[in-house]
Amino acid sequence: MNTVKTTGSQAIVNEKKTNLGTNSLFSRAAYGIMYLFLIIVAIFQIFPIIWLFLFSLKNNQEVFNMSPFALPESPKWENYSKVWTEGNISLYFFNSVTYTVVAVILTVVLASMVTFAITRMNWKGSKIVLGLFMIGLMIPVHSTLIPLFSTFTKLNMIDNPLSVILAYTAFNLPITIMILLGFYEALPREVEEAAVMDGASINYIFFKITLPMTSPVIATAAIINMIYNWNEFVFVNTFISSEKFKTLTVGIQNFIGQYTTDWGAIGATLVISILPILLAFFLLSNRIVEGIASGSVKG
């Protein structure tokens, strides 16, 4: 009798081991397929950057007479020095950095103030104000060019960097508020209530307590704003006419002529233009993922 029970128990154990082995095999296969898919996606994502870098090291003859995937016969590193010095790319690069950084700081600070006022303070009309900001998401950028141009002309702000910075800030406020909104609503109020009991002012609570607590989602909003501002073309092309105020996206047109175009110089300019965004993403990638994850769970 004991032998029968032992045999039955051993059979159950063996069956469980077999099932565990089968599940482990399927799990490994699933992980293998997933990683293979991710590797393929990564290759497709990275390949255009590598191709653009190789493209920037070619001259016009190599661009048109060689295969697009061929390596340059003799890398033309002088394309970079040429665009940086002769093509005024250093000036355009500095302008892009200035407009982007100032607009991002303004947008994030103002959006944080608005979101704090809407979610943490009780006042009439807060929902209406939030609705007005959200309406901004539905307004096409191109439909505002003529009214903005007319307004900036009356204010003597055409061909002025301030017009571009204000346009960037205004159009990025709605999406930035929307990103911050869920995170702010889920923040615990106990810390702020304790600060109020200690006699802290609204300004102290916002700048010293709430704002540092929202640093992960602020990093997410900042990188989204940075990408939009850095790649923006329409506002700069419409409001700016002087070479000294142009950005990289507009200044690249200098290498496109009516009869000849220096494609290697264009490639070098494009490589220079994407480096700051890649660098910012690598530096802030952990904060960006943390902000998105926190917002999704708390919101």
Query: Mind listing the pLDDT tens digit for each residue in 197-248?
Result: 888 888 888 988 888 888 888 988 998 899 899 989 999 999 998 989 999 8
pLDDT band (50, 70, 90) for residue 5:
very low
253: closest CA among 274, 239, 236? 236
Helical (H) or strand (E) element with 203: helix 202-204
Comparing 118 with 20, which gets the higher pLDDT?
Answer: 118
Q: Is 104 a residue whose pLDDT tops 80? A: yes
Residue 199's CB is within 10 A of a number of other CB atoms, namely 7
Query: What's the chain's average pLDDT?
Result: 83
Q: Which residues pair with 256 in a beta bridge?
A: 261
Alpha-carbon span 138 to 95, nearest angstrom: 29
pLDDT of 89 > 90? The answer is: no
Query: Homologous superfamily of 84-298 in CATH?
Result: MetI-like (1.10.3720.10)
Is residue 260 within 8 Å of residue 48, measured between CB atoms?
no
- Distance, in Å, from the CA atom of 48 to the CA atom of 124, rounded to the nearest integer, reads 51
What single letter denotes the amino acid at residue 105? I
- Read off the pLDDT of each residue in 38-59 and give the average, rounded to a whole number: 89
For residue 237, count CB atoms less than 10 angstroms from its CB and return exposed for 0-12, middle for 13-18, buried for 19 or more. Answer: middle
Contact call for residues 218 and 291 (beta carbons, < 8 A) = yes
Check whether 299 has a pLDDT greater than 70.
no
**Could you read off the pLDDT of 254-294 as tens digits, one per residue?**
777 654 677 888 888 888 888 888 888 777 766 666 655 55
Please give the structure tokens belonging to residue 82.
């040429």
- Specify the amino acid at residue 295: G
Provide the pLDDT for residue 289: 62
Question: How confident is residue 156, by pLDDT bands cut at 50, 70 and 90?
Answer: very high
Residue 66, SS3 per DSSP: coil
Separation of alpha carbons 266 and 252, rounded Å: 7
What is the C-alpha separation between 273 and 87, in angstroms, rounded?
A: 14
DSSP 72: P
Q: How far apart are CA 77 and CA 51, in angstroms?
A: 15
DSSP 124: T
> Which residues sit opposite 261 in a β-bridge?
256
Q: Please enumerate in sequence order all residues whose Cβ is within 8 A of that of 185, keeping only pairs 6 or more positions apart, or say none.
A: 119, 299
- 63 is written with which tokens? 């661009």
pLDDT value of position 169: 95
Q: Mean per-residue pLDDT for 147-166?
A: 94
- Name the DSSP class of 50: H
The model's pLDDT over 13-27, given as tens digits with 9 standing for 90+, comes to 455 555 555 666 677
